[in-house]
Amino acid sequence: MKVTLLQHTPDPEMAVALAARLCYSPIGIDELKERLSRSDISAFLDKIMSLGHQSVLEHASFTFGIEGISRATSHQLVRHRIASYSQQSQRYVTHTEQFSAVIPPSIAGRPDLAARFKSQLKALHDTYAELFEAGIPAEDARYILPNAAETKIIMTMNARELLHFFGLRCCERAQWEIRAMAVEMLRLVKGVAPTIFRDAGPGCVAGPCPEGTMTCGKIVEVRKRFKEMYV
């Protein structure tokens, strides 16, 4: 898996703070911008986020390039509807060579099952190739490709939706692959918007575990991990 922060709103925390200040100020935008110092921005963001004034976070957006994830994970990802996606097409990108696939660690760690898994992947590719060579359109031959097939996707989300996304997908109860992707995304955005994402992560980082009786039971460990996350 490879996750890259391709681009983001220039100075995302300034954009958010400026939008928030504007809501409460009679002066013009240029003057507001001149008055905002870095310390003001951090303090003001702390205040508006503690008050739940999160609509202003939508002024900051982040675009990620994501490669080497499975179709199983991309199907989960696109369920987050407040985002923009561009995904590698299995209709227009054909697999003349065997398609790359993600093998879950639970299978990869068991040689006998891993061998059977890989054998099935090869059989699926061979059938795909036979269909394609027989003149079946790629858009129809792709029906045989598995959820394990790797894909690439470019995704843009605003900061408000990212906080929601991290709350769900960084959780220990999230599926392992999308969790690993979400944690890396969080590490990347913390580097450019540390105040906005300071308490980001699963719901238990900044409050009680939202999973109730389904809790993982590792709240202390999880909080420590995300509070100390490197950037």
Q: Judge contact between 33 and 11, C-beta under 8 A.
A: no
Task: For residue 126, give the H/E element and its range.
Answer: helix 111-133
* Residue 91 annotated as binding site: yes
125 is in an annotated binding site: no
Is 21 annotated to bind ligand? no
| Residue 7 counted as an annotated binding residue | no
**What sign for the dihedral angle of Cα 62, 63, 66, 70?**
positive
Cα angle, residue 69 at apex, residues 227 and 114 outer, rounded to 5°: 105
To the question of whether residue 55 is assigned a binding role by annotation, the answer is yes
Q: Is 110 a catalytic residue?
A: no
- Residue with tokens 């703070």, as numbered in its chain: 17
Does 76 show up as a binding residue in the annotation? yes
Residue 110, marked binder? no
Order of strands, sheet of 150-158, starting from the edge strand that comes earlier in the sequence: 2-8, 61-70, 150-158, 84-87
- Burial class of residue 159 in the structure, from the number of CB atoms within 10 Å of its CB (0-12 exposed, 13-18 middle, 19+ buried): buried
For the beta carbon of residue 215, count every other beta carbon within 10 angstroms. Answer: 15
User: Is 71 labelled a binding residue?
Assistant: no
The answer to whether the annotation marks 78 as part of a ligand binding site is yes
89 is in an annotated binding site: yes
CB contact at 8 A, 141 and 93: no
Packed helices 38-50 and 12-24: angle between N→C axes, nearest 10 degrees: 70
Q: 187 among the known binding-site residues?
A: no
Single out the catalytic residue among 71, 169, 179, 198.
169
Say which DSSP state 138 is in: H
> Is 6 among the annotated ligand-binding positions?
no
Task: State the catalytic residues.
Answer: 169
Residues belonging to the binding site are: 55, 76-81, 87-91, 142, 158-160, 164, 169
Residues belonging to the binding site for dUMP are: 76-79, 87-91, 142, 169
Residues belonging to the binding site for FAD are: 55, 79-81, 87, 158-160, 164
